[in-house]
Amino acid sequence: MAVTIRPITPEDEQRWRTHWAAYNDFYQRTDGITETITATTFSRFLDESSPVQCAVASTSSGSYEGGLVGFVTWYPHPSTDSVEDVVYLNDLFVDPDARNGDVGRKLIEYVYAEADKAGAGKVYWHTQFFNHRAQLLYTKVGKRTDFVMYTRQ
């Protein structure tokens, strides 16, 4: 399958929403992700003044011809451990039928390239402890840290 990674466009919204719903279902975030959040999130991708960015993986062959098979979101931000901004890779999703075809790797590498263009020295992300399949890829393209994440109750 030939895959192209490119910035998201307004025409991608419907297919992105399908993947967004599957992504939120996987991470059991369905109760908190309202239509307002979804619409606002998508509009941020298209707003040049927003730091939140999105790229999609599209294919021109196979059962997904002309369609999207995944997406990645990220945003740069200042950090106290660097003069340069760092980049947080926020969301990464690949359609289950397109996994094991290097789509996830290509999406991460796209974010790496965008971070390099922006002069960001670091890209980081989190995943659920149970997401072992994704971690098989993450250990090939990144370094696991010892940090544990906490959130406000």
DSSP symbols for 103-133: HHHHHHHHHHHHHHHTT---EE----TT-HH
In sequence order, what are the beta bridge partners of 134? none
pLDDT in the model for residue 39: 98
The pTM of the full predicted model, rounded to 2 decimals, is 0.89
> Given a cut of 60, is residue 63 above it in pLDDT?
no
Domain boundaries, the chain: 3-141
Phi and psi dihedrals of 130, rounded to 5? -85, -5
Scored b (16 or more CB within 10 A) or e, 84-104 reads ebbbbbbbbbbbeebeebebb
Query: Which tens digit of pLDDT belongs to each residue from 119-133?
Result: 998 999 888 777 767
pLDDT in the model for residue 152: 73
CA torsion, ordered 11, 77, 149, 114, to nearest 10 deg? 50
Beta-strand runs (E) in the chain: 3-7, 53-59, 68-79, 82-94, 123-124
Looking at the domain that runs over 3-141, which CATH code has it been given? 3.40.630.30
Query: Which tens digit of pLDDT belongs to each residue from 85-135?
Result: 999 999 999 999 888 889 999 999 999 999 999 999 899 988 877 776 777
More confident call, 1 vs 67: 67
pLDDT in the model for residue 121: 83
CA 14 to chain centre: 17
Query: Which tens digit of pLDDT belongs to each residue from 18-56?
Result: 999 999 998 888 788 999 999 999 999 999 999 999 999
